[in-house]
Amino acid sequence: MDVIDVRNPGLVSHKGFLLIKGLHDPDAVDMIRNLEIKESDVLVVTYPKSGTIWMQQILLLLEAKGDLTAISKHVKFSNAELVPWIEVKTEKFIKAPSPRMTVSHLPFSLLPSALSQKKGKVIYVARNPKDVLVSYFHFHKVGNMLETPTDFDDFFEKFMRGDVFASSWFEHIKAWYLHKDDINMLFLTYEEMVKDLHSAVERIALFLGSALTDEQLADVVKHATFNNMKKNPQANYERVPGRLLSHHQGTFLRKGTIGDWKNHFTVAQNERFDDTFHREMADIPLDFIWDI
């Protein structure tokens, strides 16, 4: 694997939302708002580090009725070739055969307005933000398009300021949550997926109208567990070129647990986080599972 330690720290603010310079083209992102959406389109929306690549694997497996070999056909590097980020590969999404499947970290205000006419299907996956912060910290060492933080304290401050790709976690979830009834949306949490993957996969299958036998559903679950995805280079992004991901620094599938923040936050950071969480989320009736 060619590992090149080239890091591009640049973020660019576009309509109040931070994008990655060199990866996202603001003009292409602007096209997304007016895209036509088909009833069969499936969009997974997440704030980074909330289970995006997990959902890519689940969507592909559901479409393949649990047959893992079917989803590795025609793939060179990773599942992103089949379920791309719409903000990175907009043209690819537009031209994809139905059902078009895509993932996105974009805010509500930048994704297709047609979603608000209940066109397409949106799955929003939310994760408790303390674990998001920790996972994002570690991922900044792996993703070469992201600035490597000096240390955890440095990253903690950046996350709290929303000075990271995808801006503030609070703004992201609030806007999507407040519009959930205007959209054909399934709202899931990472924690419910960790605690009971089978039930979560059943809910997703029901939402998408996927008709699978019990055996096929069990196969989907089997190939979407943390241990099996970690062993699968296509699902774990291990073949993605080293100029994009520093594989020696870590992998997409890192720990896959609930509550790792306890190994990172100081007491003072935790108190500050709780204060911010309660203030920002005062009007949002959402609770999270913070540990197991």
Q: Which residues are tagged catalytic? A: 105
- Taking CB under 6 A as the rule, does residue 48 contact ligand A3P? yes
Whole-number Å distance between alpha carbons of 244 and 88 = 14
- CB of residue 156 to ligand A3P, shortest distance in Å: 16
Contact 166, 20 (CB under 8 A): no
- CB of residue 107 to ligand A3P, shortest distance in Å: 16
For 207, the 3-state DSSP assignment is: helix
Stretch that binds ligand A3P, among 30-38, 41-49, 155-163, 214-222 (CB under 6 A): 41-49
Contacts to ligand A3P from residues 135-174, by CB under 6 A: 135, 138
Q: Which is nearer to ligand A3P, 17 or 85 (CB)?
A: 85
Stretch that binds ligand A3P, among 1-9, 64-72, 109-117, 130-138 (CB under 6 A): 130-138
The end-to-end CA distance of the chain, in Å, is 37
Contact 253, 140 (CB under 8 A): no
Contacts to ligand A3P from residues 242-281, by CB under 6 A: 252-256, 260
Q: Which is nearer to ligand A3P, 48 or 112 (CB)?
A: 48
Cβ atoms within 10 Å of 54's Cβ, excluding its own = 25
- Taking CB under 6 A as the rule, does residue 46 contact ligand A3P? yes
Whole-number Å distance between alpha carbons of 238 and 197 = 23
SS (H, E, C) 251-277: CCCCCCCCCHHHHCCCHHHHHHHHHHH
Joined together, the tokens standing for residue 23 give 């990866």
Residue from 24, 49, 100, 174 touching ligand A3P (CB under 6 A): that is: 49
Considering only CA atoms, give the Rg of the chain.
Answer: 18
Binding stretches for ligand A3P (CB under 6 A)? 46, 48-54, 131, 135, 138, 194, 224-226, 229, 252-256, 260
